[in-house]
Amino acid sequence: MKKLSVIITILLSLSYFAQAQTSGYKPGDKAIDFNLKGTDGNFQSLASLSKGKGFIVIFTCNHCPFSQAYEQRIIALHKKYAPKGMPVVAINPNDSAREPEDSYDNMKKRAKKYKYPFVYLVDENQAIAKAYGAMRTPHVYVLDANRNVIYIGAIDDNFEDAKLVKEKYLENALDAFLSGKPILNPVTKAIGCGIKWKK
């Protein structure tokens, strides 16, 4: 029993340690830039994608029903906010060995089929998802032009039905930022598919 107790203590501390390691960014932190391959074969960095005001970085993927439920809303977000200086930058962090539907080839197919107007990048070694602290898809990080994190979280308050949305968490944050007002809810949460980390 004592042995078990020791094992549990180690286990609990390990889990806290793991959590501390992957806690990721909070609003106010400066996010790192990256150089990731897009579905068009070109490598992109935030610096290369800048449209002046900032970025809507969304960790998402092909297979996840939550990502699929939000796909059209993400397209609409880019169409609305890219002209205002805030493009969507979609990043797929999943290990395609664990989830073949999230392979680079399938990313290309999906981006083509649904005519993604934004870049869809592959985080092949998962370093960017880890640095940002992304845990699920979709998981949103809004950055200002200097890559300071200004919003983390959910897109809105109804994953199942876009027509029933009452609270547009992400758009409220973007609108506040673009009009120079404080963001009332800089952190929100949503259910999503756990990122498929390499084993």
Partner 1 sequence: MRILLFTLFYLGGQFITKAQELKVINKSDLVALINSKSDTVYVINFWATWCKPCVEELPVFEKINKDYTGQKVKIILISNDFKKQIKPKLKPFLLDKNIQSEVWWMSETDPNIWINLVEPNWEGSLPATLIFKGSENKRFFHEGSLTENTLNAIINKIAP
Which one of residues 26, 79, 157, 198 is an interface residue with partner 1 (CB under 8 A)? Answer: 157
Q: Which helix (H) or strand (E) holds 38?
A: strand 36-38
Nearest approach, Cβ of 195 to partner 1 (angstroms)?
7
Nearest approach, Cβ of 168 to partner 1 (angstroms)?
12
User: How many whole angstroms separate alpha carbon 134 and alpha carbon 126?
Assistant: 10
- 184: contact with partner 1 by CB under 8 A: no
Q: Which of residues 62-121 bind partner 1 (CB under 8 A)?
A: 64-65, 69, 99
Q: Which helix (H) or strand (E) holds 34?
A: none
How many CA atoms are closer than 13 Å to the CA of 3, on its beta-carbon side? 0
Which one of residues 89, 92, 121, 136 is an interface residue with partner 1 (CB under 8 A)? Answer: 136
Place of tokens 């797929």: 92
Reading the block at residue 112, the tokens are: 């083509």
Q: Residue 12 or 97: which CB sits closer to partner 1?
A: 12
| Dihedral pair phi/psi, residue 114, rounded to 5° | -100, 10
Only one of the segments 32-40, 109-117, 153-161, 170-178 lies at the binding site for partner 1 (rule: CB under 8 A); that segment is 153-161
Binding mask 11-50 for partner 1 (x = CB under 8 A): xx--x---x---x---------------------------
End-to-end Cα spacing for the chain: 31
Which one of residues 38, 153, 170, 173 is an interface residue with partner 1 (CB under 8 A)? Answer: 153
> What DSSP line would sit under 136-183, residue for residue?
EESEEEEEETT-BEEEEE-S-S-SS-GGG----HHHHHHHHHHTTPPP
- 198: contact with partner 1 by CB under 8 A: no
Summarize as ranges the residues that interact with partner 1 (CB under 8 A): 4-5, 7-8, 11-12, 15, 19, 23, 64-65, 69, 99, 133, 135-136, 139, 153-154, 157-161, 164, 167, 169, 188-195
